[in-house]
Amino acid sequence: MSEPLLEARGIVKSFGGVRALRGADFAVHPGEVAALVGDNGAGKSTLVKILSGTLAPDGGEIWFEGRQVTIPNPVVARELGIETVYQDLALAPELDPAANLFLGRELVRPGPLGRLGFLDKAAMRRQTNKAFADLGIGLQDSGAMVANLSGGQRQSVAVSRAATWASKVVFMDEPTAALGVVQSARVRDLIRRVRDSGIAVVLISHNMPEVMELADRIEVLRLGIRVTRIRAADTTMEQVIAAMTGALGNEEVA
């Protein structure tokens, strides 16, 4: 197995009296889709937030490209090349897709105007259209407010934002949870395209058929620690579910 791109070792995190993570491990390699699965309350979203810089862990180590790092805020995560599609999408509903894509990374006009903070909206819109086209998303009216788009379109905007900026890892927390059949299929296509471009994708999902279809490897979290890591090809959905609910013991499969 190649070196993990991003690795979490023994992460501990508590919220008040609740111990969400009790020494959880995780690893993802370049150019693969690693699924992070677990039942409700297993600690998946918490782990994602810690690895994406939104939360700080109480204990444990994070390793990136073979070096130990700390990720105190989302900006540091971004600088490392880690992007996240949160479960709540983290989009600004009253802004258009281009504004959302470039949120926090706005392009400014060249020259002195740029130093004063004048935006280059035309360039942002152009690049957004290109990014959408590259990822196969058809958004005819890219000037519409994100709030007026359908759930699937919004998801696409969030996914393409992460895919555009990520150079190393993309976390996707329940990317198709609120979508219908056709839209889910398109987002899954998107995920495969992102993986194929060499970026590591971490997929958090409840949707077991989707996990089995998309993931290259599956890591199972239960009650705050990792209980199993296995290649998708080497296992079945029933076995994974059993690991999630505790029917199988701890197993480390290379």
Partner 1 sequence: MSEIREVPPAETKDEPAEVVGQTGVQGMLRRRLTETTTWTFLILLGIVVGFAALRFEQFATVFNFRNIAADASGLLILAVGMTFVIITAGIDLSVGSVLVFSGVIAGKVMLALGGEGWGAIGAGLVAGLAAGLAWGVVNGVLVTKARVPPLIVTLGTLGMALGSALLITGGIDVRGIPLQLTTTVGIGQLAGVPYVVLIAAVVTAAGAILLSMTRFGRYTYAIGSNAEAARRAGINVDRHLIKVYALSGLLAGLAGMVSLARFATTTIGGHSTDNLAAIAAVVLGGTSLFGGIGTVLGTVVGVFIPAVLQNGFVILGVQPFWQQVAVGAVLIVAVYIDQLKRRAQERGERR
Binding stretches for partner 1 (CB under 8 A):
54, 73-75, 78, 84, 86, 89-95, 99, 103-106, 108, 116-119, 136-144, 147-153, 156, 179-183, 185-186, 188-189, 192-193
First-to-last alpha carbon distance for the chain, in angstroms, is 8
Q: Estimate the crossing angle of helix 181-196 against helix 151-165, to 10 degrees.
A: 10
C-beta of 35 vs 149, nearer to partner 1: 149
Name the strand (E) or helix (H) holding 7: strand 6-15
Question: Measured from the CB atom, is 99 or 244 closer to partner 1?
Answer: 99
Distance CA 49, CA 69 (A): 15
Measured from the CB atom, the residue of 189 and 251 that comes closer to partner 1 is 189
Q: How far is the CB of 38 from partner 1 (least distance, A)?
A: 23
Pairing of strands 217-222, 18-28: unpaired
Residue type, 231: R
Contact 178, 166 (CB under 8 A): no
Q: Tell the smallest beta-carbon distance from residue 184 to partner 1 (Å).
A: 9
> Closest distance between partner 1 and the C-beta of residue 227, in Å?
30
Q: Which is nearer to partner 1, 56 or 103 (CB)?
A: 103
Query: In sequence order, what are the beta bridge partners of 108?
Result: 119
Q: Min. distance of Cβ 185 from partner 1 in angstroms?
A: 6
Smallest distance, partner 1 to C-beta of residue 174, A: 16
> Rounded to the nearest whole angstrom, what is the least distance from the CB of residue 153 to partner 1 in the complex?
5
What is the SS3 assignment for 62-97? EEECCEEECCCCHHHHHHHCEEEECCCCCCCCCCCH
Q: Name which of 59 and 151 has its Cβ closer to partner 1.
A: 151
How many CB atoms neighbour CB 128 within 10 A?
A: 23
Q: Are 85 and 41 in contact (CB under 8 A)?
A: no
- Between 55 and 242, name the residue whose CB sits nearer to partner 1: 55
Query: Other C-beta atoms within 10 Å of 115: how many?
Result: 10
